[in-house]
Amino acid sequence: MARPAAVSPCPSCGDLAGRGYPACRFCAELVDQYWLLDWQELLAAEQLAEGGAGERELAELVLADEVGRHPWTCTDWAMTLLACTRCGEELATGPADCVRCAMADGLRWSWDHAGHPEAISAGEHALRVARATLRAPHRSRAATVGAWRLLLPFLLVGELPTVGQVRRIRAAVLAGAYADLAGCTTHVELASFPEVPWRRPERSPRVEHQAKAQRDQHATADAVQGAPNPGPGEPVADPV
């Protein structure tokens, strides 16, 4: 499906189109059409009607199938159609302590690890992360939710932020600059937003040396835990 040529205001909520997802109906339809199109093709292939009795069963079969057999959009849409058998919420969007939702969400991202880069592009991965985060904002930090909400209108037109840009935007949201960031009307303007000048108390040279040593130690721990640094063309890391 062709993407919008440019970012434009939503005629319903007034924000940039997509940013009101999923509460705004227009924004929700604009975003979800990419997932829904693939799901409708799968329904047609199975000779099933949308909203019919067999659709829920198909959704369960898609999630039970081996990872990568169906498009990632269909995996996501199947979750949208199903309720969690434990908490009753949309699958993978329930409370943070719901084990069933956590397992379903883990299945979602295992698709990315199995399929990238042949079956899912970096831009698609970023769009997928944004949608999943906004459908369950209580499962992520507020700054992470705000960052993906700001970026979503630009992801819809094919703009792709770097990992560093996502982190910088998230830091600015954390510092209370969401309203200023929301005024950016282009991806370039948003991505080049000045870094937040975090204020720190002055430290003695000894304290500063100790702090640097601790940072180095944390970086080493991250490496031991296997946190990969994405290379060129790899998906944007999921901010947490």
**152-167: pLDDT as tens digits:** 999 999 999 888 888 8
Q: Let me know: does 133 contact 156? Beta carbons within 8 Å.
A: no
Q: Among 185-194, 200-209, 212-221, where is mean pLDDT lowest?
A: 212-221
Question: Any idea which residue has 């094919």 for tokens?
Answer: 158
pTM of the predicted protein model: 0.79
Q: Let me know: does 234 contact 116? Beta carbons within 8 Å.
A: yes
The distance between the two most distant Cα atoms of the chain, rounded to a whole number of Å, is 72
Q: Which two tokens stand for residue 201?
A: 């108390």
Q: How far is CA 188 from CA 22, 91, 222, in A?
A: 25, 35, 31
Q: CA nearest 150: which of 130, 176, 124, 171?
A: 130
Q: Please, which contacts does 97-102 make with residues 24 or more away whose CB atoms are closer than 8 Å?
A: none
**Highest mean pLDDT (candidates 73-82, 203-212, 228-237):** 73-82
